[in-house]
Amino acid sequence: MRAALELIAQKGPSGFTFAEAARWAGVSAAAPYRHFRDRDELIADVALRGYDQFANALSHAWAEGRPDPGSAFERLGKAYLNFARNEPSYYSAMFEAGVSLDPSAELRAASDRAFGVLRSAVEALIAIMPPQARPPALMMALHIWTLSHGIASLFARGDAGRRTLPMSPEELLEAAVLIYLRGLGIEHPAKKT
């Protein structure tokens, strides 16, 4: 696992072979086959562990919406960016390796748990809106995820793929989310509660 994380950091999720991971770990080329069917299964296991850590980080940041949904939502966005920055190998395995969630119920559940934290946060924000102005929670969660993921992937990465900005990724995400929320009629969610 450590070998895969290091090789992903150095070469990307598709830039190394199963045999290379075995050599890096100091084991025979056959040894990894005792644990994984092939390199794709190894990458899927890295992604699974990444999703578990990601979900935990998001859940911790959200803190069930305390002290208020707006403040907790801001922490959630920062946690998203921090994960991409601090765990680039996991992030890459999760989102850039082309790992399908479908063959593994465990991988699908871990991914869904991470997205579920975001959806719960969105549902809490929607609850403070006037009933007639509430957008569908899934649609809003997907929009916020897309904003967060795009900014994390382009500007908050912890690897050589990071682009430079004249502002911090956190400032960019905050501005984008505020503009999005204002368009939905939420001026500042932390002040509305």
pLDDT digits (tens, 9 = 90+) for 122-145: 999 999 888 888 999 999 999 999
Q: Residue 57's pLDDT is what? A: 98
Tell me the two tokens of residue 14: 């598709």
Structure-token match 């450590």, residue found:
2
Q: Residue 26's pLDDT is what? A: 85
Higher pLDDT, 26 or 72: 72
Which residue in 186, 34, 13 sits closest to 94, CA to CA?
Answer: 13
Task: Please say whether the beta carbons of 128 and 45 come within 8 A.
Answer: no
pLDDT digits over 80-95, tens only?
Answer: 999 999 999 999 999 9
Q: Whole-number mean pLDDT of the chain?
A: 89
Tell me the two tokens of residue 123: 């549902």
- The whole-angstrom separation of Cα 101 and Cα 139 is 21
- The whole-angstrom separation of Cα 56 and Cα 113 is 9
Q: Residue 80's pLDDT is what? A: 96
Tell me the two tokens of residue 84: 């991409």
Average pLDDT over residues 8-34: 85
Is residue 161 pLDDT above 90, yes or no?
A: no
Task: Collect all residues with Cβ–Cβ distance below 8 Å to 97 and sequence separation of at least 6.
Answer: 8, 13, 14, 43, 47
- What's the distance, Cα to Cα, between the start and end of the chain in Å? 44
- The whole-angstrom separation of Cα 142 and Cα 138 is 6
- The whole-angstrom separation of Cα 25 and Cα 33 is 13
- The whole-angstrom separation of Cα 114 and Cα 110 is 6
Q: What is the pTM of this model?
A: 0.88
Q: Residue 185's pLDDT is what? A: 80
Structure-token match 């649609």, residue found:
139
Domain 52-192: assigned CATH number? 1.10.357.10
Which residue in 41, 44, 18, 40 sits closest to 31, CA to CA?
Answer: 18
Which residue in 149, 144, 164 sits closest to 74, CA to CA?
Answer: 144
Angle between helices 105-127 and 39-62 (to 10 degrees): 20
